[in-house]
Amino acid sequence: MEKDRILKRLQEIVGPANVLWKEVDLAVFEYDAGLDKEKPSFVVFTQTAEDVAQVVKFLHQEGISYVARGSGTNLSGGTIPLNRGVVIELSRMNRILEIDLQNERALVEPGVYNLTLQNALAPQGYYYAPDPASQKVSTLGGNFGENAGGPHCLKYGVTGNHVLGAEFVWPNGEKTWIGSKAVDPPGPDLLGLLVGSEGTLGIATKILVRIMRSPERVLTMLAIFKNLEDAGQTVSDIISEGIIPATLEIMDNMMIRAVEESMHAGYPLDAEAVLIIELDGLSDGMEEQAQRILELCQKNGVVSTRRAKDAAERADLWAGRRGAFGAVARLAPSYLVCDGTVPRTQLPAALSAVKKVGQKYNLAVGNVFHAGDGNLHPLILFDDRNPEEMERVHRAGMEILKICADLGGTISGEHGIGTEKLKGMPLVFRDSDLDMMRTLKMAIDPKAVCNPGKVIPQT
């Protein structure tokens, strides 16, 4: 009866066709791109910000937990509806509301795919800098929640550096606007806090982002190495030299093979590691900078280098990189992607240590990562039908996080904490720090209904 009453009210708010309640329908929403699973009690498809506000207000009154969801591409269990909460599905709120070139801003709904915005901007000579590998399907609302990064964030920063405003539904259903087309709203940087809070402090229903003029020239190079550590050392040397390219991405042999089998991006199969280097900006001086980078590659024993001849070859190289996570499906039924980040000079040490972890736990580990940011993405491959192997995977994952923390880094660079890394939080925070986070969560969401059980470990 209780369930019927809740269903009836949700249907009143968004319409009967926009609420899923049958177990078979709900099964699709019990997982995201992470490992954890839990089935929601309802899935509500909202069409407007007012829908979201009304649904949240009702759930808040009832003390029912909820989680907002876009495409569910997050890799840390952030959109799993713990305690059989309600999933508020935002993917139908997918309009680009405004592109304002004069003020260099774009206003979007949360369900807009990252790539959709890029495609809308490109013909006008503009782009939106954050470009997660999942950009074809990940939504800007999800990018907001996770503070998504991407290959080009090395030079231009992550989502949080580009969000200037948001219409926001708070955990009690109140809706306010934060920020505007003008910079620097007064008071503490609330947007800086909300971006990356993994949907635990509320839901963004409109997002105002900074857009940038496309660069005059882009130069993409591929450097092939005989081992992964040399590629890592090259990245460290490039940064130490004071050169900040647009991207520095590394892929190891296991990932190269998977990508080539999947999409023939043009990577050499015999390479132990490839480093994708991209420069952008004014064309003047770019050749000299490229030459200096090649010298650093040579210093670290590069086997060969090549440039993307044209836009098509460049697109192929990037398609391979962006499709890497998907391509590992050819290698194993499941994977756990770690997201630890280290100071860039620690990359060789971190890569070496990760390799040893794979050997220790007898697990295949592939690497494809944002090397310029020091953001590792070891992919531990496994079969989730094998509980014993799953157990080893979890232990190996935690050990990799500890390695990153011990090297002066952190446990998540861009995928978030979600449920998967909760146990790792004490590796990088003291009790007083975690207590401050809990206190903040309590201040904003005292009934703990807004995506509870994520980000902060319970005491």
Partner 1 sequence: MAPDKDFPSSPLGNPGNASPGVQGLQSLGVQVKRVEKPAAEKEAREILARASQDRQTIFSCGGGTSLSSGVLPEKVDLVLDTTGMNKVLDFDPRNLNLEVAAGMTLDRINEFLAGQEKGFFLPLDPPGSNRATLGGAYAANSSGPMRLRYGTLRDLVLGVRGIDSRGREIAFGGKTVKNVSGYDFTKFLIGSAGSLCLITSAVIRVYPLPEASSLCDLVFGTLEELEKFLAALRSSVFIPSAVAVTELAGGPGVSDSAGVRFRVRIGLEGHRLAVERQNKVLPNLAREFGGFGDARTGRDGMLREIRSAVNSDRPFENPLFLKISVPIAQGPRTFVSIHTAARQYGLAAKVVLCPANGLLFLFAEGSSRKPAGDLLRDLKDLIAAAGGYLGPLLAHRSLLVNWGARVEPALHQLAFQPIKDRLDPTGVFPAIV
Restricting to residues 73-92, which ones interact with partner 1 according to CB under 8 A?
Answer: none
The rounded distance, in Å, linking the Cα atoms of 92 and 164 is 23
Least distance from partner 1 to the Cβ atom of residue 169, Å: 10
**If you ran DSSP here, which 8-state letter would residue 18 be given?**
G
Under rule CB under 8 A, residue 172 binds partner 1: yes
Under rule CB under 8 A, residue 416 binds partner 1: yes
* Near partner 1 by CB under 8 A: residue from 61, 83, 119, 176: 176
Least distance from partner 1 to the Cβ atom of residue 148, Å: 9
Binding part of the chain for partner 1, among 5-13, 39-47, 79-87, 142-150 by CB under 8 A, reads: 142-150
Binding part of the chain for partner 1, among 31-39, 95-103, 294-302, 316-324 by CB under 8 A, reads: 95-103
Least distance from partner 1 to the Cβ atom of residue 70, Å: 16
Binding to partner 1 (CB under 8 A) within 237-256 occurs at: 239-240, 242
The rounded distance, in Å, linking the Cα atoms of 241 and 243 is 6
Under rule CB under 8 A, residue 203 binds partner 1: no
The rounded distance, in Å, linking the Cα atoms of 370 and 248 is 6
Under rule CB under 8 A, residue 400 binds partner 1: no
E strand or H helix at 369: strand 364-370
**Both tokens assigned to 254:** 């296991």
Binding to partner 1 (CB under 8 A) within 17-56 occurs at: none
Least distance from partner 1 to the Cβ atom of residue 178, Å: 6
* Near partner 1 by CB under 8 A: residue from 149, 151, 348, 378: 149
Under rule CB under 8 A, residue 236 binds partner 1: yes
* Near partner 1 by CB under 8 A: residue from 88, 411, 449, 450: 411
* Near partner 1 by CB under 8 A: residue from 47, 440, 447, 448: 440
Residue type, 315: A
**CB 164 within 8 Å of CB 190:** no
Strand, helix or coil at 436? helix
The rounded distance, in Å, linking the Cα atoms of 170 and 46 is 16
* Near partner 1 by CB under 8 A: residue from 20, 64, 195, 276: 195
Under rule CB under 8 A, residue 142 binds partner 1: no
**CB 80 within 8 Å of CB 34:** yes
Residue 134: which of 336, 331, 276, 324 has the closest Cα?
Answer: 324
* Orientation angle between helical segments 387-406 and 347-360, nearest 10 degrees: 160
Under rule CB under 8 A, residue 326 binds partner 1: no
Which segments within 170-311 are labelled E, that is strand? Answer: 175-179, 203-210, 212-213, 217-225, 247-252, 273-281, 304-307
E strand or H helix at 127: strand 126-127
CA 401, chain centre distance (Å)? 17
Specify the residue for token string 């010298």: 295
Nearer to partner 1, 24 or 443 (CB): 443
Binding to partner 1 (CB under 8 A) within 353-372 occurs at: 370
Nearer to partner 1, 434 or 448 (CB): 434
* Near partner 1 by CB under 8 A: residue from 69, 344, 367, 368: 344
Under rule CB under 8 A, residue 199 binds partner 1: no
Residue type, 405: A
Binding part of the chain for partner 1, among 1-9, 83-91, 127-135, 187-195 by CB under 8 A, reads: 187-195
The rounded distance, in Å, linking the Cα atoms of 343 and 112 is 33
Nearer to partner 1, 189 or 270 (CB): 189
Angle at alpha carbon of residue 233, lines to 231 and 235, rounded to 5°? 75
Least distance from partner 1 to the Cβ atom of residue 373, Å: 5
Alpha helices in 300-371 (DSSP H): 311-322, 324-327, 347-360
Spell out, one character per residue from 417 to 436, where the chain touches partner 1: x when CB under 8 A holds, - when not: x---x---x--xxx-xxx-x
